[in-house]
Amino acid sequence: MTLNEVIIGLQYFFLLYFVGINGGYLVLNVLAAVNLSRYMRTKSTGDIPSVFSGFEPPISILVPAYNEQATIETSVRSLMQLEYEEYEIIVVNDGSEDETLGVLKRAFSLTLFPEDYQHRLPTKAVRKVYRSAVHPNLRVIDKENGGKADALNAGINYSRYDLFCAIDADSILQRDSLRRIVQPFLDDPSTVAGGGTVRIANGCTVSGGYILEAGLPRSILALFQIVEYLRAFLFGRLGWSSLNALLVISGAFGVFQKESVVAVGGYRADTVGEDMELVVRLHRHLRLDRKKYRIAFIPEPICWTEAPEDLKTLRNQRIRWHRGLSESLTKNWNLLFHPRSGMVGFLAFPFMVIFEWLGAAIEVVGYVFMIVGFALGIISMQAMVAFMLASIGLGILLSVCALFLEEVGFHIYPKFRQVFILILALLGENLGYRQLNSVWRVGGLIRWAFGAKGHWGEMKRKASWQKNS
């Protein structure tokens, strides 16, 4: 084989790869649009969740917290205002080195509350348990640092109810979010997990734990992440959910059936992607045991979270996410093409391996090969244009589709100026930001391959979206 034949072969490989990944996402987009249309028609017949008002199953809300002094009070106050009949809030202070525990003590009048519990999942030692003197449904567990998964397991041990909702400590739930996210558990008793939509709080106005106004941030990085989140949730997860092949429920907002989670061993403390790994493991156990189950995504329950606005924090977050993806897939490898794995093992899992896990490295090599080859004159103008259309043009199309689904379905950003800014952001997001993300993801892949130790990610909080009440 000559050098020229190798170069031509690589051109076709990278071109077909980008056509394949974006074509797959376009198929998911169609599935998501159909699913969203069905969801909106159901919604138009009436506010379905209100029919069950007073009959929803009680829920334990678990809030793992590590160095969250900037946002923890606002997040807990937002949980106090949820429109839900019966729920408890369990904040797990995972050995914070800042004033997280002190803020909670002062804001909610915490007092020591000795309590027995079922030690069903192993965790680091619990130092003290507190209960709010003014909010009987709020408890705070102070424990030694063990990581997010360990903190969630401690929360499960202390939880009283059969369903638990895991959220991040920097997150704000809309008042009806809990009521809406529990809907799949009411519709289908075989449901073991459900996830909602996560949106960016940067630029919004929050007072007393309540979203007053949805806005756009000034930070260009945060704007890019708004587009990214729209694409990931509104057609990625909604599309996979329609096939009961959803592999990811965001750690920022998900509801789980406690007994199913305990049966598979709870969250794994030896991974930094504990949220995805748990969902993949649930699929693996339930599929291979031939049990009927459902893992659902519901587009309307919304959780608002703060996005990184500096490159260092964002880079570390994406490296950690991709390392978590690597661990989630490899620790459940026997799900791939297992005879009983169904759509999950024969479609979702290989798609995730080829286009998400290994895709970052293929994308980076592809861009370098095509750009350098074009600069050296060994790649033709026609090949370069075709490559850019497949990699960037189709990417922009996907982002436009996600924004269209957002406007048709939910219209969170009602002003024309906001939509115009998002259109500009989606153009910029595909011209540099996505490629930089791929480089960071390769870093996560390398760290996983060399066994670098994972830990809680440090998040630089600005909390500028909070308004003093």
CA gap 393, 427 in Å, rounded: 10
Per-residue CA distances from 153 to 126, 157, 265, 266, 327 (Å): 12, 6, 9, 6, 19
Residue 151: which region, alpha, beta or left (left: phi > 0; alpha: psi -120 to 50)? alpha
In this prediction, residue 116 carries a pLDDT of: 74
In this prediction, residue 214 carries a pLDDT of: 86
Q: Assign domain 21-352+458-467 one CATH number from 3.30.420.40, 3.90.550.10, 3.40.630.30, 1.10.760.10.
A: 3.90.550.10
| 281-338 per-position pLDDT tens digit | 999 999 999 999 999 999 888 899 889 999 999 999 999 999 999 999 999 999 999 9
Has residue 97 got a pLDDT over 70? Answer: yes
pTM over 0.85: yes
Q: What is the dihedral of CA 294, 175, 156, 325, to 10 degrees?
A: 60
How would residue 440 be classed by pLDDT, with cut points 50, 70 and 90?
A: very high
- Count, residues in the chain: 469
In this prediction, residue 129 carries a pLDDT of: 96
CB-based burial of residue 396 (10 Å sphere; 0-12 exposed, 13-18 middle, 19+ buried)?
Answer: middle
| 251-279 per-position pLDDT tens digit | 889 999 999 999 999 999 999 899 999 99
In this prediction, residue 209 carries a pLDDT of: 66
Backbone angles phi, psi at 300, to 5 degrees: -85, -35
In this structure, what DSSP letter does residue 306 have?
A: P
**Helices 359-376 + 3-44 axis angle, to 10:** 130
In this prediction, residue 457 carries a pLDDT of: 54
Partners of 206 in the beta sheet? 211, 466
How would residue 424 be classed by pLDDT, with cut points 50, 70 and 90?
A: very high
| 16-35 per-position pLDDT tens digit | 999 999 999 999 988 988 88
In this prediction, residue 101 carries a pLDDT of: 96
In this prediction, residue 348 carries a pLDDT of: 97
